[in-house]
Amino acid sequence: KAGVTQTPRYLIKTRGQQVTLSCSPISGHRSVSWYQQTPGQGLQFLFEYFSETQRNKGNFPGRFSGRQFSNSRSEMNVSTLELGDSALYLCASSSGQGAGNTIYFGEGSWLTVV
Amino acid sequence: DQQVKQNSPSLSVQEGRISILNCDYTNSMFDYFLWYKKYPAEGPTFLISISSIKDKNEDGRFTVFLNKSAKHLSLHIVPSQPGDSAVYFCAASARGGSNYKLTFGKGTLLTVNP
């Protein structure tokens, strides 16, 4: 069974630009969530989608957005990039139903903003 | 306010000995707890989880203990191996609508010396 796949793995952007990251969940998983990892803040929850609807949202500014498609694939977008957005962006998937779901992570997309 | 705390940023043990990683939480709504292992430049890998209805869960060399009254959990690795050297994250999720959002601790770097 293929794991969570994220693309691209590495990218460099300039301040003010926007970026779109893509995630394909584990087959059969309907919940996709996104996390940001930085050295100072650790792993922080961005948002979670289930059946194309945003179900949970973390404390990030509106520049961070996402969406989920009917095949459960998800994208996240960051507009007007700032230097502080440089981080590892992790996508995770789970079945999304019932209590105590295990969440599985992809390898991440390393974003560097210069 | 950190709801999940891993107070030891690092831990060093000898190969073959026991590694004990600790985690404290403050949110009484948390009812599912997970441990992840992370190597640099990779996504977190799920290790083991425990529901709040249990106080112990074992999987091979890994055992997680939960003390709900103390809001404390620990991960025991016996025997420790050099390949276990990584950052270990404790994570928690709450019942209800936030069931699919994980709150992470800041991680503990485990080094297992040969």
Q: Which of A97, A101, A110 is the best substitution to test chain B (most B C-beta atoms within 10 A)?
A: A101
**Where residue B41 falls among pLDDT bands split at 50, 70, 90?**
confident
CB proximity B45 to A under 8 Å: yes
Tokens of B33: 């707890």
Q: Which residues of A touch B42 (CB under 8 A)?
A: 107-108
Mean pLDDT, consecutive 10-residue stretches, chain A (114 aa), reads: 90 98 95 91 91 91 97 97 96 80 91 97
Average pLDDT over residues B90-107: 82
Q: Secondary structure of chain A in the HEC alphabet?
A: CCCCEEECCEEEECCCCCEEEEEECCCCCCEEEEEEEECCCEEEEEEEEECCEEEEECCCCCCEEEEECCCCCEEEEECCCCHHHCEEEEEEEECCCCCCCCCEECCCEEEEEC
pLDDT for A24 equals 97
